[in-house]
Amino acid sequence: MHVGDLARLLVACAATPAAAGRTYLAANGESTPSTPRIVTAMRSALGRPARLVSVPPALLEAAAGLAGQGERMRRLTRSLEVDAAPAESELGWRAEIPIELAVRETAAAYRAGAGA
């Protein structure tokens, strides 16, 4: 999620008295971006090829289970979906900035800082 979208949500919360004491989840406006999509966008923004290898999640989970790390691997292989509908309906907030732009700006900041 882009920091600008998150900032707009925080402002909407602060400006809406009914939001006091409530918890709102922030999510990108489109469907949940997949890990391969985010990794591809990150590597592209850093000028690197995607180099993704498709491995069935069940295989990764089984191998991790043998090492006693099955639950940890499931957290990585399963989708994390967030419902931002309350923020949309109660605050009129919706994420507007595409995930690819957020990733490009993050990569640019990384290159400009210590990670250059």
pLDDT above 70 covers a percentage of the chain that reads: 94
pLDDT digits (tens, 9 = 90+) for 47-86: 999 888 889 999 999 999 999 999 999 988 887 788 899 9
Residue 46 and residue 9 in one domain? no
| Total structural domains within the chain | 2
pLDDT above 90 covers a percentage of the chain that reads: 57
Residue 13 and residue 52 in one domain? no
Q: How far is CA 31 from CA 19, 37, 73, 90, 96, in A?
A: 25, 12, 23, 20, 13
Domain that holds residue 56: 33-80
Residue 76 and residue 48 in one domain? yes
Q: What is the pLDDT of residue 52?
A: 87
Residue 41 and residue 25 in one domain? no
pLDDT above 60: residue 115: no
Q: Which two tokens stand for residue 49?
A: 């090829």
Domain membership flag for residue 104: no
Which carries the bigger pLDDT value, residue 60 or residue 33?
60
Q: What is the pLDDT of residue 1?
A: 86
Which three-class secondary structure state does DSSP give residue 81? coil
